[in-house]
């Protein structure tokens, strides 16, 4: 069987790390009965990984969504026909490929399954654009032959809201890998004698990142020095400029360190240099920050939402994400409660036992892909 692994939507951030985990599992799986092709963004971490591991059958696409979609619609059909592609696994999202080739899609977008939540904010043009993109995701979900979820609530809601057949969805738990490279990451501006809060995120407003300056301002009133380590880039984007402006307004520039995106090989070193993991998302399908916090034995501070409670259970410290003052008070209370910190760490370590290895998860994904392919052949 000729299987196309479509990783073209994974260009940056945690999504790339998840994609790299899948590829690591695929290499370990050693499936010699099938031929794998890979559609990736040129010079992405995923592209580099495939080259470093001497993988062949690499197809290149553009990082631009418009150019990528253009290629999917107008050029990929002839390429797939030439390569005799039997089935497509789009790791996250949906590809506008030939409809006669079964396509299984991994689902990462969360807000379309919670229509009751006002997820997008900003000016009319921005909200309109995001809603158009949401309509595209919904279109893709309805058109896909099967869906893979990392969140049981989202899987159930997809079946209820969009009427997707139960026999064409599957929940596959995120993988856990305790084997991290220990390449040293030198973080400029890291201060001694400060409590360090890590936020692994870009400028996604869903992560509540714009409240950080005010949270820092409230933490400044305590008798403990704090520092936020944030992986958002210094890219002079509108969000970056607004964040800097807020930091200056609250006088907390010295409490915030923007270190930019961190490659997977530096994660072990990064986590050794921080004290807590902070995840304030309104919605998530899943976040690797959760597993990483548990693995590296760092207390996890997370927004008190339906998605987080279903995943983290007793292995997280829950906060009300809308109030910077309450968030600061909660963080400082946790800092002073060593027993609670140890309890959270122990609960996290225990929960890791429920998660499959990268190889086990990859096996489950490949088996489901082959099942759907055979089902589609039978249906036709």
- 181 lies in a domain? no
Convert the pLDDT of each residue in 148-188 to its tens digit: 998 888 999 999 999 999 999 999 988 877 776 778 999 98
Domain count, the chain: 2
Q: What is the pLDDT of residues 192-225, one digit of tens each?
A: 899 999 999 989 888 999 999 999 999 999 999 9
57 and 126 together in one domain: yes
Closest C-alpha to 308, from 116, 119, 110: 110
- Domain co-membership, 154 together with 271: no
Are 27 and 137 within one domain? yes
Q: Is the pLDDT higher at 372 or at 265? A: 372
Nearest CA among 312, 259, 357, 43 for reference residue 151? 312
Q: Within a domain: residue 372?
A: yes
pLDDT digits (tens, 9 = 90+) for 342-357: 999 999 999 998 899 8
Q: Is residue 180 part of a domain?
A: no
12 pLDDT higher than 70? no
Tokens 């107008």 belong to residue: 74
Among candidate residues 195, 185, 134, the one with its CA nearest the CA of residue 338: 195
On whether both 169 and 295 belong to a single domain, the answer is no
Full residue range of the structural domain in which residue 10 is found: 2-175+356-379
Q: Is residue 153 part of a domain?
A: yes
Residue 187 half-sphere exposure toward CB, CA atoms < 13 A: 26
Is residue 295 within 8 A of residue 352, CB to CB? The reply is yes
What secondary structure, in 3-state letters, does 27-41 show? HHHCCCCCEEEEEEE
Q: Which of 92-96, 229-233, 273-277, 313-317 has the lowest mean pLDDT?
A: 92-96
Q: Is the pLDDT of residue 99 over 90?
A: no
276 and 311 co-located in one domain: yes
186 domain-assigned: no
- Which residue bears the tokens 């490929």? 97
Instruction: Give, to the nearest 10 degrees, the angle between helix 76-83 and helix 65-74.
Output: 60
User: In what order do the strands lie in the sheet containing 169-171?
Assistant: 58-61, 35-41, 2-6, 87-90, 103-106, 146-149, 169-171
Q: How many helices (H) and strands (E) does the chain have?
A: 14, 13
Is the domain of 213 the same as that of 350?
yes
Answer yes or no: do 319 and 369 share one domain.
no
Spatial neighbors of 197 by CB under 8 A, at least 6 apart, are 226, 227, 228, 229, 274, 275, 276, 277, 278, 301, 331
Residues 213 and 226 in one domain: yes
Domain contains 92: yes
CATH number of the domain within which 113 lies: 3.40.50.2000
Question: Tell me: the pLDDT tens digits for 20-73?
Answer: 889 989 998 887 789 999 999 998 889 999 999 999 999 999 899 899 999 999
CA 85, CA 34: separation in Å to the nearest integer? Answer: 11
| Residues 52, 27 within the same domain | yes
Q: Kindly state whether residue 185 falls inside one of the protein's structural domains.
A: no
Domain shared by 84 and 105, yes or no: yes
Task: Look at residue 245 and tell me if it is in a domain.
Answer: yes
Residues 108 and 225 in one domain: no
Of 277, 273, 306, the closest CA to residue 294 belongs to 277
Q: Are residues 122 and 68 in the same domain?
A: yes
């Amino acid at each position: 069987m000729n299987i196309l692994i479509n990783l073209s939507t994974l260009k940056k951030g945690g999504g790339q790390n998840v994609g790299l985990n899948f590829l690591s599992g695929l290499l370990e799986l050693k499936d010699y009965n099938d031929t794998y092709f890979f559609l990736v963004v040129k010079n992405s971490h995923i592209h580099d990984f495939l080259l470093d591991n001497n993988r062949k059958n690499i197809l290149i696409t553009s990082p631009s969504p418009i150019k990528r979609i253009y290629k999917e619609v107008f050029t990929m059909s002839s390429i797939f026909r030439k390569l005799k592609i039997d089935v497509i696994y789009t790791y996250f999202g949906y590809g506008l490929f030939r409809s006669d080739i079964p396509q299984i899609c991994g689902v990462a977008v969360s807000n379309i399954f919670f229509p009751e939540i006002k997820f997008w904010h900003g000016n009319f043009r921005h909200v309109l654009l995001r809603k158009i993109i949401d309509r595209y995701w919904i279109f893709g979900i309805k058109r896909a032959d099967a869906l893979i979820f990392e969140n049981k609530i989202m899987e159930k809601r997809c079946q209820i809201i969009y009427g997707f057949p139960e026999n064409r969805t599957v929940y596959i738990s995120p993988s856990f890998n305790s084997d991290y490279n220990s390449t040293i990451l030198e973080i400029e501006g890291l201060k001694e004698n400060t409590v360090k809060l890590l936020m692994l995120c870009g400028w996604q407003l869903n992560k509540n990142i714009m409240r950080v300056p005010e949270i820092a301002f409230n933490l400044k009133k305590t008798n403990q020095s704090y520092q936020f380590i944030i992986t958002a880039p210094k890219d002079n984007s509108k969000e970056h400029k607004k964040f800097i402006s807020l930091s200056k307004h609250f006088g907390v520039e010295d409490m915030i360190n923007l270190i930019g995106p961190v490659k997977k090989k530096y994660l072990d070193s990064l986590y050794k240099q921080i004290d807590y993991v902070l995840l304030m998302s309104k919605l998530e399908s899943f976040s690797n920050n959760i597993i990483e916090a548990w693995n590296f034995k760092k207390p996890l501070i997370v927004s008190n939402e339906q998605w987080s409670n279903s995943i983290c259970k007793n292995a997280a410290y829950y906060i009300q994400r809308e109030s910077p003052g309450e968030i600061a008070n909660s963080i400082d209370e946790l800092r002073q409660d060593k027993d609670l910190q140890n309890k959270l760490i122990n609960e996290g370590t225990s929960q890791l036992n429920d998660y499959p290895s990268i190889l086990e998860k990859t096996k489950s994904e490949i088996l489901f892909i082959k099942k759907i392919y055979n089902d589609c052949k039978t249906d036709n």
